[in-house]
């Protein structure tokens, strides 16, 4: 499809179809090349539109990726809640049984994030730039969806652990924030990662996201639970 073939949408249904096509194109490009590398022009070319025509549907490049990020938050929350459903209900915050439960919960959270590379990439870019070049209404719409996703996962964590509401929310926010940061440090599939791996002196620069994030979350869950026990 060429830009000349892509006629302007005339109905609400056609407009929605155009938006979906733009989002799908941006998702394909970001998955293949990383969010940082994808330009408005590249998205327009991928979907078969002039850039100026595409910007009738979204404010900016950042608007497109913020919409993808909101959807990714909701998809992740649904998926990780399903995964956490297999974890045994809460136990006392001491002893081997609790340690196993903590390791299981942390592993599920970390694994669910690493299994979603585009989400990890978006998590890093959202506070750095995606929220910076859009309207406040757009930021608010995104934040409402992301906050609801955090609340959904945190509510389930409270059924599996002795954490209070603030502690459970802290675990979810830390998990997602660290996933974004570690993903950028890990640089999977890039020339930089290959360079680190090829130079013995730089081997400590190689970041394995899932085990690193799991260890962080084990420590966080353990600490929050211990603090909760001492305060009651």
Domain ranges of the chain: 1-58, 60-231
| Domain boundaries 60-231, CATH class | mainly alpha
The per-residue pLDDT for 67 is: 97
The 3 state secondary structure assigned to the chain is CCHHHCCCCCCHHHHHHHHHHHHHHHHHHHHHHCHHHCCHHHHHHHHCCCHHHHCCCCCCHHHHHHHHHHHHHHHHHHHHHHHHCCCCCCCCCCHHHHHHHHHHHHHHHHHHHHCCHHHHHHHHHHHHHHCCCCCHHHHHHHHHHHHHHHHHHHHHHHHHCCCCHHHHHHHHHHHHHHHHHHHHHHCCCCHHHHHHHHCHHHHHHCCCHHHHHHHHHHHHHHHHHHHHHHHC
Provide the pLDDT for residue 4: 42
The CATH fold of domain 1-58: Arc Repressor Mutant, subunit A (1.10.10)
pLDDT of residue 3: 44
Average pLDDT, consecutive stretches of 10 residues, N- to C-terminus, the chain (232 residues): 51 86 97 94 94 91 97 98 83 71 94 97 95 94 98 95 94 97 84 80 83 96 78 58
The pLDDT, as a whole number, for residue 7 is 55
pLDDT of residue 9: 58
pLDDT at 89: 65
> What integer pLDDT is reported at residue 226 of this predicted model?
81
pLDDT at site 198: 83
Q: What is the structure's pLDDT at 100?
A: 86
Q: What is the pLDDT of residue 90?
A: 63
């Amino acid at each position: 499809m060429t830009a000349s073939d892509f006629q302007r949408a005339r109905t609400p249904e056609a407009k929605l179809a155009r938006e979906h096509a733009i989002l799908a194109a941006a998702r394909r490009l970001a998955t293949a090349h990383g969010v940082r590398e994808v330009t408005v022009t590249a998205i327009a070319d991928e979907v078969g539109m002039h850039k100026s025509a595409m910007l009738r549907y979204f404010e900016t490049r950042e608007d497109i990726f913020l919409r993808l990020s909101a959807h990714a938050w909701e998809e992740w929350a649904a998926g990780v809640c399903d995964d956490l459903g297999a974890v045994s209900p809460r136990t006392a915050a001491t002893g081997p049984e609790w340690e196993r439960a903590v390791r299981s919960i942390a592993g599920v959270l970390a694994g669910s994030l690493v299994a979603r590379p585009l989400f990890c990439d978006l998590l890093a870019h959202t506070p750095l730039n995606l929220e910076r070049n859009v309207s406040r209404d757009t930021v608010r719409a995104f934040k409402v969806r992301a906050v609801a996703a955090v609340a959904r996962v945190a509510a389930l964590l409270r059924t599996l652990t002795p954490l209070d509401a603030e502690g459970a929310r802290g675990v979810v926010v830390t998990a997602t924030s660290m996933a974004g940061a570690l993903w950028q440090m890990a640089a999977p599939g890039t020339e930089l990662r290959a360079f680190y791996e090829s130079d013995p002196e730089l081997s400590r620069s190689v970041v394995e996201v899932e085990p690193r994030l799991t260890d962080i979350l084990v420590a966080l869950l353990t600490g929050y639970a211990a603090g909760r026990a001492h305060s009651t």
